[in-house]
Structure 1
Amino acid sequence: MTSKVLIIDDDNRNIFALKAVLKSKGYQCLSATSAEDGIDLLKQDKDVAVVLMDMMMPEMDGYQAMAQMSLMPEIKHIPVIAVTAQAMVGDRERCLDAGASGYVSKPINVDELTGLLKKYV
């Protein structure tokens, strides 16, 4: 099974930091700075094992992106881990209810994230 991770985040600094950490753990990383671009990448690259989705993005947010993905047979099986700076009561449940397979809050706890990734990769 592939260990390719797609990072969808509108902030390049977050992408850079996540890629550095994940590459050091042996993951292959792709990235997109918008949900639309991320969905396009998923349609093209059949080897993506899991998506790290920033929930707060302009244009299309993570909730809308997961809703769109769920309507596409070719990508709806790919697990999405919600990544968000919103760590308020109920945010985790809201992400999971929207279709996320897992949830991590920013700043990201690397051990927590890699533990989640191991479940899906």
Structure 2
Amino acid sequence: MANAKLICALLLCILVTAPMLNIEASIPCHTVKVDLAACLSYFLKGGIPPPSCCKGVQNVNNAARTTKDRRDTCNCLKTTAKQYHIVNFRFAAALPRFCKVNIRSPISASIDCSRIK
């Protein structure tokens, strides 16, 4: 019985103090790539992005809550675009407008991700 009370007390302490911890979780690059995979044909050819692409853009935008998240997402996208040569940045820059998603920084091949707020 004493062990159950101790466990309950520890769980209560964790629940009370958890919101006070300032932990900045980062969005894994793999998650960003998966969310934006439906945009691949749009990145290559332009046109109108499919709804699944816009949903992915919304998911990434919603997940990038902290400055670190936004910088990590930016670096992930830049690295992936350079690695695979699959992104026409003119099309990518228009994606938020098509998807009606307000992002905090412009989309550009020359963006300095470390300057994103």
| TM-score, normalisation: structure 2 | 0.34
More strand by share: 1
| TM-score, normalisation: structure 1 | 0.33
Which is bigger in relative contact order (C-alpha 8 A, separation at least 6)?
A: 2
**Structure number with bigger Rg:** 2
